[in-house]
Chain A
Amino acid sequence: MNFSKIQILGVLVFLAVVFVGVPVFIAATGRWDFYFTLTSVALLAIASAGVWLTFYIGRINIGQGAFALVGAYVSAILVVKAGWSFWISLPAAGLFAALVAVLIGLPILRLRGVYFAMITLVLTQVATLTALALPITNGAKGITNIPLPGGISIFGITLIPDFSTLENARMAFYFTAIILMIITYAALYRLVNSRLGHLCRSMQQNEELASSIGVNITYIRILIFAISSFFGGVGGAMFGSISQSVYPATFVVKDSVDFMLNCFLGGLGYVFGPMLGTLVLYFGWDLLFEFGKYQMLIYATLLILIIRFLPNGLLSLRFGKGGGK
């Protein structure tokens, strides 16, 4: 992989903005609530990255909310009931979500187009109802009072401080979420530009053809769906830890639809589309709050106008119609 100077510069500017620019801006303006908003954006962007990846093999995934919910519950149960450290429960939540995705994916990934979209929409509803029915999830009461993430230290050197001793946990969560998001998108970018990514692209265009030239399409789509759900599980687990509680309604169908909209809004052809889409959708909704009862009206109108005039996503503005990556 060769990066052009502009790409490297872009990444550096992005890192400078999120690690230096945002904290300085927040300290200057005193809008400490932006930390929470931006943390949520980062976590939802991680889950949206998973949805984007399923789009990459030509499937419309409206079920990411289910995996985010699974991840949130697994992490919460491991921390509260089994006494695990949050930092171990985080990958465990992702892996469990991936495992669920493999089991569910085996039958349903054979479906295509609108059928896959609709069954994943139903899947979110199943996850919510299951969380209501199972005893381990405490039903509608949910799991509350999840402790803040503890510290990690190796040989006496503190790698991650205990969040409950920090005077500003919000800032710590912000940095954690941003770092996770950067890792996710770096992994996504690497994946898309790897051999596997090219195989995915061939599947997106024509599965039969890809299969006929020797691509193991069943294996690839299960793998991709598992990775996608891993992202969903990690994002959900982190979200549960920040709000310190998980309910069956933490992630519902509307969230799943939102994850999908993030990808569309940013642009399906661009790896960083879901990140931008999440920022615009979530932050935009927050900024429109001052319009009171007209918030929804303005938000929906803007959304419709964007898709009407930029049907290939916001990033297509810069790269021209149907242009490169």
Chain B
Amino acid sequence: MEQVMANGVYLGSQYAMIALGLTLIFALMNVLNFAHGQMYVIGGFVTYTFYGQWGVPFVLALFMSCMTLAIIGALIERYLFAPVIKGSAREESTMLLAAGIAFLLDALILLIFGEKQRGVPKIVDGVFNWDFRLIMPYDRILICVLAILSIVAFIALMQYSKTGRALRALAQDRTAAQLMGVNVDRYSMIGFALGAMLAGLVGGLLVTITGVNLGMGGPTSIKAFMMVMIGGAGVISGAIWGGFILGFMEAFGLAYLSQYGDITYLLIFVSLMIFLAIRPQGLMGKPWG
């Protein structure tokens, strides 16, 4: 039981970070970013290149992967999403763009990094063992702590900094924020970059444990969509809840249902559909967000 709970926290903290980036982009731009999983994979590969291949210290490699993704995110927002949103009759058209970007990033990853599974050396060795009731490698604990610290830092940034206030205003009401003197174009770009950066950060963290490969992008996006749905689209606390709930469901499913075959995810999907039928806006979302 303790083991399952610990796995839940571990999975949940990573998932929450993925969902945070997706929900931030959605809240600001009303864009469903299909390419979020691919951004995560790029983050993993950048950290792999710097830390695994060139022997740069891990923290620096993590920083590089954040910066790479932030720049990619900013460029994508500035030159693709913003003009398409302006010129399109229905704002759903951005979904075609997002899917196109997902294809493009997939192609770039394939050309630059290849399709092999890549892993990096462990950051710390050893296994934490509490009387055989709870066994967890130290590097997993470290990643989990780092993930939770990043979430706290992100919340603090959104809550107390000027940028965070502007972003929250933008998410609440675009027009009103503009009337209050928020530079909407600039903060959209910053917000998108921040969302992409979160994807890069979690990709960089996870490459140390699970490794990274080309095929991880799509499934990661789908998981992120589910977490956002559980918590409510465009709500930051909702994304964190959604991430932890999915993490715990997965941990419990793997522990208790795996003998029945691969039905954990089927059950998760079905319960999600029932949940959404009862509460369409998720746990904390605005109705019809």
Residues of A within 8 A of B (CB): 55, 60, 104, 107-108, 110-115, 117-119, 121-123, 125-126, 129-130, 132-133, 253-254, 257, 260-261, 264-265, 268-269, 293-294, 296-297, 299-301, 303-304, 307-308, 311-313, 321-322
Contact B281 A108 (CB under 8 A): no
Q: How far is the CB of A251 from chain B (nearest CB, A)?
A: 15
Contact B103 A133 (CB under 8 A): no
Q: Whose C-beta in chain A lies nearest to the C-beta of B34?
A: A257
Contact B84 A308 (CB under 8 A): yes
The answer for the CA separation of A300 and B100 in the assembled complex, in Å, is 5
The answer for the CA separation of A146 and B262 in the assembled complex, in Å, is 27
Q: Whose C-beta in chain B lies nearest to the C-beta of A111?
A: B280
The answer for the CA separation of A312 and B108 in the assembled complex, in Å, is 27
Contact A300 B261 (CB under 8 A): no
Q: Interface residues of A: mostly helix, strand, loop or mixed? A: helix
**With an 8 A cutoff between CB atoms, is B26 at the interface?**
yes
**With an 8 A cutoff between CB atoms, is B18 at the interface?**
no
Given A111-B280, A307-B100, A308-B97, also A119-B84 (CB < 8 A): no
Q: Whose C-beta in chain B lies nearest to the C-beta of A122?
A: B269
The answer for the CA separation of A113 and B101 in the assembled complex, in Å, is 21
Q: A300-B107, A312-B93 are in contact. List 4 more A-B contacts (CB 8 A).
A: A129-B265, A260-B96, A297-B111, A303-B96
Q: How far is the CB of B110 from chain A (nearest CB, A)?
A: 7
**With an 8 A cutoff between CB atoms, is B186 at the interface?**
no
**With an 8 A cutoff between CB atoms, is B180 at the interface?**
no
Q: Whose C-beta in chain A lies nearest to the C-beta of B234?
A: A114
Given A129-B265, A311-B87, also A265-B276 (CB < 8 A): no
Contact B289 A113 (CB under 8 A): yes
Residues of B within 8 A of A (CB): 26, 30, 32, 34, 80, 83-84, 87-90, 92-93, 95-97, 99-101, 103-104, 106-108, 110-111, 218, 222, 225-226, 228-229, 233, 261-263, 265-266, 269-270, 272-274, 276-277, 280-282, 288-289
Complex contacts, A268 vs chain B, CB 8 Å: 89-90, 92-93
Q: How many A-B residue pairs have CB under 8 A?
A: 143
Closest 3 CB pairs of A and B: A107-B277, A311-B88, A300-B104
Contact A110 B280 (CB under 8 A): yes
The answer for the CA separation of A258 and B146 in the assembled complex, in Å, is 37
Contact B262 A132 (CB under 8 A): yes
The answer for the CA separation of A174 and B188 in the assembled complex, in Å, is 48
Given A107-B277, A108-B277, A132-B262, also A307-B97 (CB < 8 A): yes
Contact A296 B93 (CB under 8 A): no
Given A110-B280, A119-B229, A125-B222, also A304-B93 (CB < 8 A): no
Contact of B99 among A55, A111, A257 (CB under 8 A): A257
Contact A308 B218 (CB under 8 A): no
Contact B107 A304 (CB under 8 A): no
The answer for the CA separation of A94 and B110 in the assembled complex, in Å, is 39
Contact of A311 among B84, B108, B269, B276 (CB under 8 A): B84
Q: List 9 A-B contacts (CB under 8 A).
A: A113-B289, A114-B289, A115-B280, A118-B32, A129-B265, A129-B266, A257-B99, A268-B89, A300-B100
Contact B228 A118 (CB under 8 A): yes
Contact A296 B96 (CB under 8 A): no
Complex contacts, B218 vs chain A, CB 8 Å: 253-254
Contact B273 A296 (CB under 8 A): no
Contact A122 B281 (CB under 8 A): no
The answer for the CA separation of A107 and B228 in the assembled complex, in Å, is 19
Contact of B97 among A123, A304, A321 (CB under 8 A): A304
Contact A304 B80 (CB under 8 A): yes
Complex contacts, B97 vs chain A, CB 8 Å: 304, 307-308
The answer for the CA separation of A114 and B104 in the assembled complex, in Å, is 23
The answer for the CA separation of A132 and B80 in the assembled complex, in Å, is 39
Complex contacts, A313 vs chain B, CB 8 Å: 93
Complex contacts, B282 vs chain A, CB 8 Å: 115
The answer for the CA separation of A264 and B32 in the assembled complex, in Å, is 15
Complex contacts, A299 vs chain B, CB 8 Å: 103, 107
Contact A261 B280 (CB under 8 A): no
Q: Of A60, A132, A257, A293, which is in contact with the most chain B CB atoms at under 10 Å from its CB?
A: A257
Contact A304 B262 (CB under 8 A): no
Q: Whose C-beta in chain A lies nearest to the C-beta of B264?
A: A129
Q: How far is the CB of B35 from chain A (nearest CB, A)?
A: 10
Contact A115 B233 (CB under 8 A): yes
Contact A114 B103 (CB under 8 A): no
Contact of B101 among A104, A115, A304 (CB under 8 A): A304
Contact of B266 among A130, A254, A261 (CB under 8 A): A130
Q: Of A113, A114, A121, which is in contact with the most chain B CB atoms at under 10 Å from its CB?
A: A114
Q: How far is the CB of A58 from chain B (nearest CB, A)?
A: 9
Contact B288 A113 (CB under 8 A): yes
The answer for the CA separation of A126 and B264 in the assembled complex, in Å, is 11
Contact A133 B276 (CB under 8 A): no
Q: How far is the CB of A291 from chain B (nearest CB, A)?
A: 11
Contact of A118 among B30, B80, B110, B229 (CB under 8 A): B229
The answer for the CA separation of A260 and B101 in the assembled complex, in Å, is 15
Q: Of B104, B218, B228, B274, which is in contact with the most chain A CB atoms at under 10 Å from its CB?
A: B104
Complex contacts, B96 vs chain A, CB 8 Å: 260-261, 264-265, 303, 307
Q: How far is the CB of B228 from chain A (nearest CB, A)?
A: 7
The answer for the CA separation of A230 and B218 in the assembled complex, in Å, is 28
